[in-house]
Amino acid sequence: MNQHTPDMKGFSRRRFLQGVIGGTGLSVITPSSFAKDPGKTSFANTPSVLVDVTRCIGCRACMRACKNANELPDNTDLSEGFPISWEHQELRFDQWTVVNPSTGANANGDAVTRNIKSQCMHCLEPTCVSVCPVGALTKSELGPILYNADRCIGCRYCIMACPFDIPKYEWHSGLSPVVGKCQFCTRNRLSQGRLPACVESCPTGALKFGRRDSLLFEAKARIDSYPDRYINHIYGEKEAGGTAWLYMSDVPFENLGFKSSVETSPMPPLTWDVLSKIPIVAAAMAGLFGTLAWSLNRQEQSE
């Protein structure tokens, strides 16, 4: 937890990885610990990825890399080798990232096509973690949101609640279905000092890994240097209170099918504000009804 303190400004990849290997980095924090101290500064060094939509050529190398790195079944045409088919792909419990072409109007009103990579956004204040009744979804100490099937009861609240509709479910398993979503390669690669598989596989530099504040800085610098080339909106900077995955584009995001209805404030307080009042209300009710029942009872007995 104290790794989130601002003195981590000198965050370097080596130090981050030392922390991870040292074991502390993989221990999880509960939502309560980060709700108590939401200190926004601690989000600055969250491992993040900047996606430059204008640089993505849609080769889907990242999709295959993800499947290989996470031992997900290559049950799609992706196994056929390069180049692959261009059928539309959906996220599934065993397909954690997809790239699909999306056509929308750019700032001049011309219809253009861009390739959009989707995966879990790894929210700084994740909705899924706050709604899960058993803590099967957790925010690891360094940031990525991890899923633990051993705890999951399969209630699917995370799927219903995620503002980006990311977690997917294994609908055809009788007794032990799992929820599937991008794990940011935390256990299998980050902890061994390697980049996320998708980032490593990207041939064009459309995906860039780094700490969140430097990526935001870089994105803003790119927008400043090429104001004609980029729209002035970094998707993920504010959405759902901020996410680790950040997108920049030359086409307004809502035209490319990004969810524009996502609130810009963190979601968990929406329920926590109510939940946290319950003990007081319950205590008040106990007092009220207790007194009422007791006094009415006495009145009856004295009559």
Where do contacts with ligand SF4 occur on this chain (CB under 6 A)?
Answer: 120-123, 126-128, 131-134, 136-137, 145, 152-158, 162, 164, 166-167, 179, 181
Q: Contact between 263 and other proteins (CB under 8 A)?
A: yes
Nearer to ligand SF4, 136 or 185 (CB): 136
Give the separation between CA 97 and CA 101, rounded to whole angstroms: 14
Instruction: Please tell me the distance from the alpha carbon of residue 71 to that of residue 94, in angstroms, as a whole number.
Output: 9
- Tokens representing 260 are 């524009």
Question: What minimum distance in Å lies between the beta carbon of 109 and other proteins?
Answer: 22
285 binds, among ligand SF4, other proteins, none (CB under 5 to 8 A by kind): other proteins
Select 58 or 154, whichever has its Cβ closest to ligand SF4.
154
CB 144 within 8 A of CB 187: no
Q: Does 156 bind other proteins (CB under 8 A)?
A: yes
270 interface partner picked from other proteins, ligand SF4, none, CB below 5 to 8 A per type: other proteins
Residue 123 binding target from ligand SF4, other proteins, none, CB below 5 to 8 Å by type? ligand SF4
From the number of C-beta atoms within 10 Å of its C-beta (0-12, 13-18, 19+), residue 221 rates as exposed
How far, in Å, CA of 292 to CA of 46, rounded? 53
The residue count of the chain comes to 303
Nearer to other proteins, 59 or 63 (CB): 63
* By CB under 8 A, residue 264 contacts other proteins: no
Beta partners for 235?
A: 247
Residue 303, token pair as written in the block: 């009559």
